[in-house]
Amino acid sequence: MKVFTQSVLALSLLAMGSAHAFELKSNDIQEGHPMAKTFEYNSWGCDGGNQSPQLTWSDVPEGTKSFAITAYDPDAPTGSGFWHWIAFNIPASVTELPRGVDIKKLGGQESRIDYGSVGFGGACPPKADGMHRYQFTVWALPTEKLDLNQNTPSAVIGFTLNNMAIDKAKLTATYTR
């Protein structure tokens, strides 16, 4: 009976909003909505502003010592998706990135993405390929520094993040050309 009572109490607290979930928000992009051309790549046939969006996260999980940020297009016609941004070793004191952020100035690091460059690479789906989803994810990590570098393959970084993250928060925007 005691376990049942504790379970009911825990569910009641969740229903009342006492428990907070790790959350990612943006002033620039909204869940399920198209992104502006400001966030389109400026190469590969695209001519956007290639700016990373402003991102803010809250209700950081206990034990977080650093963050990673990724942007991924699962709809890219590659068979393996397309990595648009991989940043890590972002200090735990950082909970907001301004538009067009320089990750190095925050003490973080970025890795090579699928465009072949290091840093943010905006949306650039093939013309007439329909709507693509762009999943921006902030990862709460239990270590200050990941033993990765700018040449670590994106799949290895994705594996590392998925296996060690305390929690993650995701915001998915869309883009069509």
Domain range summary for the chain, segments of one domain joined by +? 20-175
Q: Which fold has domain 20-175?
A: Phosphatidylethanolamine-binding Protein (3.90.280)
pLDDT value for 15: 43
Predicted confidence at residue 12, as pLDDT, reads: 42
Which amino acid is present at 177? R
Q: What local confidence, expressed as pLDDT, does residue 9 receive? A: 39
- Beta-bridged to residue 24, according to DSSP, are 57
8 Å CB contact between 33 and 103: no
Alpha-carbon dihedral sign for residues 103, 105, 111, 112: positive
**What pLDDT sits at residue 19?**
64
Cα distances (Å, whole numbers) of residue 37 to 51, 64, 117, 150, 158:
9, 34, 20, 27, 27
Q: Which residues pair with 87 in a beta bridge?
A: 69, 110
User: Which pTM was predicted?
Assistant: 0.88
Residue 3: the pLDDT is 43
Q: Within a 13 Å sphere around the CA of 118, how many CA atoms are in the beta-carbon half?
A: 14
Query: Distance between CA atoms of 41 and 150, rounded to whole angstroms?
Result: 20
CA 49 – CA 40 distance, rounded (Å): 6
pLDDT of residue 20: 79
* Half-sphere exposure at residue 87, Cβ-oriented, CA atoms within 13 angstroms: 25
106 burial (CB, 10 Å; 0-12 / 13-18 / 19+) is middle
pLDDT, averaged in runs of 10, over the chain (177 residues): 42 49 97 97 96 98 98 96 98 97 97 97 96 98 96 95 98 97
